[in-house]
Amino acid sequence: MRTSPTGLSRPARTIFRIAPARYLIAELITFGCLFAGMVLAQDWRPVGVPAGTLIAFLGGTVVTIYYLYKVLGSSAGWVVPLTLLMIGNAVLGNMVIGNYTVYDAAHPNGTHLIITGTYWLAWGTLLGAIAVTVALAAASGERWTRRHPPHDHARRAEFIGSGPLS
């Protein structure tokens, strides 16, 4: 940490100061968790299927929402669209990437699902929708933080640095 002319510490330059990098990080978190879960589901069957789907859905959703809300300042209203899109992406991606077997009461031993181009098209559309939704959530957070600047950081840093242990 560097110090300002007033002697207070300032945060150093980071990658977070570049707007496209913040957007890219938000997208990489979402798609990284999604594809990590899909790879796990495909490679470690049958145990990996539920674990991979949970990583793809819960991991992607929770980490993305945390990043958007805590780091970028987006609204909590993005939780519902992101959650719904991640459910669709996790389930359809699990079917398309490699778990073609479906179990139900009529087929207790499982039956193979025929994956056609329509499945790929639907999944591609959902992936595009999640990319646009994350980009919009990141952009709305940027606009909100510009209109509502954080509280006086100099006073807060002064207060934190004046405790009995400093």
The tens digit of pLDDT for each residue in 38-81 reads: 888 888 877 788 888 888 889 889 998 888 888 788 888 888 99
Neighbouring C-beta atoms of residue 26, cutoff 10 Å:
22
Question: Is the pTM of the predicted complex or chain greater than 0.75?
Answer: no
pLDDT recorded at residue 159: 43
* Percent of the chain whose pLDDT exceeds 70: 73
166 Cβ neighbours under 8 A, 6+ residues apart: none
105: in domain: no
Mean pLDDT of 136-157: 61
For the chain, the domain total comes to 1
140: in domain: yes
Residues composing the chain: 166
92: in domain: yes
34: in domain: yes
| Dist. CA 145–CA 149, nearest whole Å | 6
121: in domain: yes
| Dist. CA 52–CA 70, nearest whole Å | 26
93: in domain: yes
Domain residues for the domain of 50 are 15-100+112-152
The tens digit of pLDDT for each residue in 100-131 reads: 776 677 777 777 777 888 989 999 999 999 99
